[in-house]
């Protein structure tokens, strides 16, 4: 399992922590910080990265997630899990709005 990221709250605003996790090639599971609500979160693409943001203001960037042929399962320290294939679908298409003609 990939190591848990360092999470830091904003010293200015006190906002919920943001984290960056490097996704290792070949990892089958990626660990995410406790407190992140995977079930109610918004999943978006930012280039090759998956960005997960929940309603509490927690944001996690998974660097290189979309570079992997077989996306890893996401799991938080408090036991929530989301399959990598589901996270990929929730993040939407690679090129939204584009259609073949």
Domain ranges of the chain: 18-90
Reported as a pLDDT band with limits 50, 70 and 90, residue 13 is very low
**How high is the mean pLDDT of the chain?**
84
Which of 60-64, 87-91, 94-98 has the lowest average pLDDT?
Answer: 94-98
Element (H, E) at 89: helix 84-90
Against a cut of 0.85, is the pTM above it? no
Average pLDDT over residues 77-87: 95
């Amino acid at each position: 399992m990939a190591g848990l990221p360092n999470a830091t709250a904003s010293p200015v605003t006190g906002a919920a922590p943001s984290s960056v996790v490097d996704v290792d090639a070949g990892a089958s599971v990626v660990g995410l910080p406790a407190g992140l609500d995977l079930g109610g979160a918004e999943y978006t693409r930012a280039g090759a990265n998956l960005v997960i943001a929940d309603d509490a203001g927690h944001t996690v960037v998974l660097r290189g997630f979309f570079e992997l042929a077989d996306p890893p399962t996401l799991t938080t320290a408090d036991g929530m899990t989301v399959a990598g294939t589901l996270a990929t679908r929730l993040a939407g298409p690679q090129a939204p709005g584009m259609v073949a003609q």
